[in-house]
């Protein structure tokens, strides 16, 4: 029993190391999250982060990346079917999923999004197509966090989905320079064609780039506004965390709006001071 407990403790410590070793724009199990839940946030994050990293492995073909994701999905299936995991991430993840009766289907949706990315043809004709993607890449994350706190009702999930899609769209704007350089475009074709931009290759040099960025920011703002009731609908530290997340999103959105087409050339980031302000604002946003 001692060895098993120690192995599980080591597994959660491994997940924690992964989670805290990556830069994120928004809090990952920040000080606003209760200590009892932080290891479970780390377990979920480590699963997602590692799968996401497979997609961006340098010098790997699309087929090799898809195979890594297929193996990752196989280990997820084993964990779901109560096979004792060998990998520390899945040992921690299996315990978290059991403890909180979480839906494994949400993790499979995330893998669907990673597989889409790994295939290499990351382009979207319409916002509906892009939303198909964010329903898999972003919205499951919010649903899992809500469930950790005991919230599984449809109303809160709907608010959370809007917020998580907004956060994902903000991230796309932040990463626009690198994504376009690597042939990935998260700007729907129907969006940029409104501004007489005929190809994603022209986004960084288009005369109407500022207008396009403002258009995307307005859509994100509407999503954040749609989900703004979520923080006051929950209790305790989750309310603070959600306030901090929304505060960070709004600060970043204003920064991107000011930068306009400059986001195609420079990645917007939150300063250390802004991050501190977000955490403090979590108590009274």
Who has greater pLDDT, 245 or 111? 111
Instruction: Look at 38-42, 92-96, 159-163 and tell me which has the smallest mean pLDDT.
Output: 38-42
Domains (range + CATH), the chain: 1-120 (1.10.600.10), 122-285 (1.10.600.10)
Average pLDDT, the chain: 91
For 6-75, what is the HEC assignment? HHHHHHHHHHHHHHHCCCCCCCCCCCCCCCCCHHHHHHHHHHHHHHHHHHCCCCCCHHHHHHHHHHHHHH
Element (H, E) at 244: helix 236-259
Tokens linked to 132: 């198909």
Tokens linked to 26: 């928004």
Q: What is the mean pLDDT of residues 270-282?
A: 68
Res. 31: pLDDT tops 70 = no
CB of 152 closer than 8 Å to CB of 103: no
Who has greater pLDDT, 15 or 56? 15
**Most confident of the following: 60-64, 89-93, 236-240, 249-253:** 89-93
Tokens linked to 214: 């403002």
Rounded Cα gap, residues 177 and 20, in angstroms: 25
Rounded Cα gap, residues 240 and 264, in angstroms: 33
Instruction: Look at 81-95, 182-196, 241-255 and tell me which has the smallest mean pLDDT.
Output: 241-255
**How many CB atoms within 10 Å of residue 134?**
21
Q: 278 CB contacts (<8 Å, ≥6 apart)?
A: 27, 244, 247, 248, 251, 270
Q: 283 CB contacts (<8 Å, ≥6 apart)?
A: 240, 243
- Give pLDDT tens digits for 161-201: 999 999 999 999 999 999 999 889 999 999 999 999 999 99
């Amino acid at each position: 029993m001692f060895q098993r407990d120690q192995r599980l403790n080591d597994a959660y410590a491994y997940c924690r190391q992964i989670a805290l070793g990556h830069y994120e724009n928004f809090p990952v199990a920040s000080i606003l999250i209760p200590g009892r839940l932080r290891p479970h946030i780390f377990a979920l994050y480590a699963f997602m982060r590692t799968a996401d990293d497979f997609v961006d492995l340098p010098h790997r073909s699309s087929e090799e990346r898809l195979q890594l994701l297929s193996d990752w999905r196989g280990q997820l299936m084993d964990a779901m079917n109560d096979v004792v995991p060998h990998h520390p991430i899945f040992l921690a993840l299996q315990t978290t999923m059991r403890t909180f009766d979480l839906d494994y289907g949400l993790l499979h949706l995330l893998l669907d999004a990673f597989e889409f990315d790994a295939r290499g043809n990351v382009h979207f004709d319409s916002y509906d197509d892009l939303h198909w993607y964010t329903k898999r890449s972003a919205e499951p994350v919010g649903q899992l966090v809500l469930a950790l706190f005991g919230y599984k009702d449809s109303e809160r999930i709907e608010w959370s989905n809007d917020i998580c899609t907004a956060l994902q769209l903000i991230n796309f704007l932040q990463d626009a320079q690198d994504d376009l350089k690597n042939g990935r475009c998260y700007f729907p074709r129907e969006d940029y064609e409104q501004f007489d931009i005929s190809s994603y290759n022209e986004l960084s040099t288009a005369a109407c780039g500022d207008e396009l960025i403002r258009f995307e920011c307005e859509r994100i703002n509407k999503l954040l506004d749609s989900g703004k009731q979520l923080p006051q609908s929950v209790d305790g530290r989750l309310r603070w965390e959600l306030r901090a997340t929304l505060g960070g999103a709004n600060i970043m959105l204003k920064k991107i709006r000011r930068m306009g087409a400059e986001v195609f050339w420079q990645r917007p980031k939150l300063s250390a001071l802004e991050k501190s302000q977000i955490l403090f604002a979590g108590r009274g946003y």
